[in-house]
Amino acid sequence: MKYTVVRTFQSEALKDSGVLQDQIIELDGDAKKHYQGKKMRLVRFWDSINNAEYEFLTNNFTWKASTVAALYKERWEIETFFKHLKQRLKVTSFVGTSENAVYIQIWTALIGILLFKYIQKKAKYDWNLSNLVNFIRLNIFVKIDLWKWANDPFFSGKPPDKIGQYKLF
């Protein structure tokens, strides 16, 4: 994105809150046609938890830069949550579209995620969450001891005794 910096705000309070830059900009290039004469605000933020730098573009000039960064960061968490729902639990569309139906489906998906996370944490085998979900989805109607299987999914022990087995011929 091409832009021209109109004004830069700097203070130690900004850097203490993780804000690297707070600038008022005007867009250049193709975007200038659509935003001719309109100023935007660019906030660069350092997330020390994820060791990542983010840039947020807004037209809100009244909030503090740290508020803009925190708001967009929280919004990103919501986006990540719904991406998680769609990918891991295959909630690609809602069966019902009323407010209550959507709430029920989201709560059901959340309970499902919690159950899968619980199995993942308690199992002795080092499961990747998406693999665990897929394996359980494939074996949902197989009658097995869930914890034995979760702890040792590829059965590294001795084979079961053949006592009680019938010969086929």
pLDDT of residue 12: 63
DSSP three-state, residue 55: strand
What is this structure's pTM? Answer: 0.50
pLDDT of residue 11: 66
The pLDDT confidence band at residue 169, using thresholds 50, 70 and 90, is low
Residues in a beta bridge with 55: 44
Domain residue spans of the chain? 3-76, 89-151
The token pair that represents 39 in the structure block: 């100023």
Give me the chain's average pLDDT, please: 81
Owner of token pair 């690297």 = 20
pLDDT of residue 124: 93
Task: Using alpha carbons, list the distances in angstroms from residue 56 to 34, 70, 121.
Answer: 19, 10, 35
DSSP three-state, residue 50: coil
The pLDDT confidence band at residue 85, using thresholds 50, 70 and 90, is confident
* Statement: residue 83 has pLDDT above 70: yes
